[in-house]
Chain A
């Protein structure tokens, strides 16, 4: 009798699951509580934004690209405007660059605090979730009083920014930062000393420096494994050359290290925000950018809260881009999950998933796989429409 392969018991997480705030599909094959295999399937929230940019002019695209992500909306618009300015040969005035950095760092605070809450919730620590989100309201209010919006700040215009920082506003932001720093000290103490929380994070999902390099991890996820890579330092953009940040790394590589790195980054953000407010350069807010951007292509890289955000922009010399491609940090980090998940408990999976701070909607792209002997599956709009009608009949 030939040995039968034991039937795999697969626990599906998603596309709709309470652990996921956005749709994605994860299949964990388990042996009891131990995970023996993990697979990831994305693509449930593909919105065709890259294609959409080709239908809109340079200015309209700022608004569209800002909506790639609801959490790190400013960095998307900033990466795009920096790229377009580079193509047009225009540099935004120093004050505008400083304001861009200011909003980007405030956004990092809001994003990391949001993540702190979500990650705590995945570990069943709802008290930390509620408290960190309550304190996050402070930075949300700061962003609102600065830009007028809570989510999509629409700070950027081609050639500069559309908001200014008044001295009164600067004082409000300083006060907010004082409060946030105090609270963040507390949260840092909680995530590094709370025994039940450490039991869920210490040693969970360890990723070595070599693995992080090999898997192409970016952002805080990589920095928690000791990778010293931060676009803000490696290739300063906006005003990061005048107001530099220092890179925060940790050698732990596990979930605890990711918590520590993200929280410590926020102290750095608070420090640089104060520095910007104290030394705000005086200048115009907007430089003039032509309506038609000269032909050419460029890349633009910025450090989003989740890691390196990469934009490729190509202009044909018209009033709309020929191609805009964005590579978001979550996409780079997915492979770390499927690699380190094996051997962990099923209960660790939600925290492990949350550990890279995934953002689903921003990394869904159309992927065309070309295999030999298969014709391209290129469908016209009419074919696609008919397929949809047949599918739901």
Chain B
């Protein structure tokens, strides 16, 4: 399904801009509500994420001593912009991506990493000790989940024979759900997404009982709000990618809503099941387990595709 809209509308309202912000907050609310219900709490009301953002935007932004003010202001903007841009290549709401070219999968993954990089830089920019430790952990975590996450998303790409997200989405819609054919890849992708979003149990970079708020300790007001929105958008984009690749493609809005929310349900469950991993445990988990099994999976796919040609 595809619509033809004016580029400005695409960027500002739908599917970019307002729609993304709105859905980001909506998914954040679902996530918080689900985790709360799993934990036997009531959870926030539906407008709580919006209220948080409004409150943060209304607050004074304090630029602390010792930071580079330019970087301090521009980093949240870059983070949000890259997350928003990444969304343009993904089949949001089950519609055709608005911009699509061979290899846009790599671009999207890169743009999603820019978000984390900005977070790390924002922490390293500060002289606050909690921020510095948080930044180190953020970047360490980036290096640990990025490779397996990428490999897990390459699996479907190789199976589909294209590195175009729209192409993979179409292929996934026509063939057997790839969660069945590549179960390991799905698990690695899902957990990698949780690592990317720094959700529990991978929330060591922002472990409040150790380092307050990690890299974002010094952020308040607008900058903090932008980072939060950026993360929400990343949540939507990440869910879209994983469910498009592994849950049989996203062909219409209904499919989109059902599949991404189903995935979020599982993710919220995983968030409430475990104790927080230490950063060394996270790195160990990803490099000893995640990367290896993702590589094995990839190898199996490559062999599986090459074998019919050989005989």
Contacts and interface: CB of A to CB of B under 8 A. Distances in A.
B39 A127 contact: yes
A348 interface: yes
A300 to B, nearest CB: 36
B276 A123 contact: yes
Contacts of A325: none
A18 B212 contact: yes
A33 B279 contact: yes
A11 B276 contact: no
Contacts of A127: 38-39, 272-273
A124 B210 CA distance: 10
Given A124-B200, A126-B200, A196 B41 contact: no
Interface in A84-122: 120-122
Chain B interface bracket (under 10, 10 to 19, 20 to 34, 35 or more): 20 to 34
A130 B41 contact: yes
Contact of B129 (A9, A123, A199): A9
A196 B200 CA distance: 12
A194 B275 CA distance: 9
Nearest to B281: A199
Interface in A113-163: 120-128, 130-131, 134
A95 B274 CA distance: 46
A188 B185 CA distance: 34
B280 A124 contact: no
A369 B204 CA distance: 41
B278 interface: yes
Interface string B262-296: 00000000001111111111000000000000000
A199 B275 contact: yes
B133 A11 contact: yes
A251 B131 CA distance: 39
Interface string A25-44: 00000101100000000000
B39 A124 contact: no
B97 interface: no
A124 B279 contact: no
A348 B278 contact: yes
A360 B114 CA distance: 43
A342 B9 CA distance: 58
Contact of B210 (A130, A131, A346): A346
Contacts of A17: 212
A294 interface: no
A12 interface: yes
Interface in B129-158: 129-130, 133, 136
A30 B280 CA distance: 15
Nearest to B204: A347
A237 B193 CA distance: 57
Given A17-B212, A19-B210, A349-B210, A124 B272 contact: no
Nearest to A347: B278
Interface of B: 38-41, 129-130, 133, 136, 200-201, 203-204, 207-212, 272-281
Given A125-B274, A127-B38, A347-B278, 17 more contacts: A13-B210, A19-B208, A30-B133, A33-B133, A33-B278, A33-B279, A121-B209, A124-B276, A125-B276, A130-B40, A199-B278, A345-B278, A347-B207, A347-B276, A347-B279, A349-B210, A350-B209
In order of increasing CB-CB distance, the 8 nearest A-B pairs are: A124-B276, A125-B275, A19-B209, A196-B274, A130-B39, A350-B209, A347-B278, A197-B275
Interface of A: 9-13, 17-19, 30, 32-33, 120-128, 130-131, 134, 194, 196-197, 199-200, 345-350
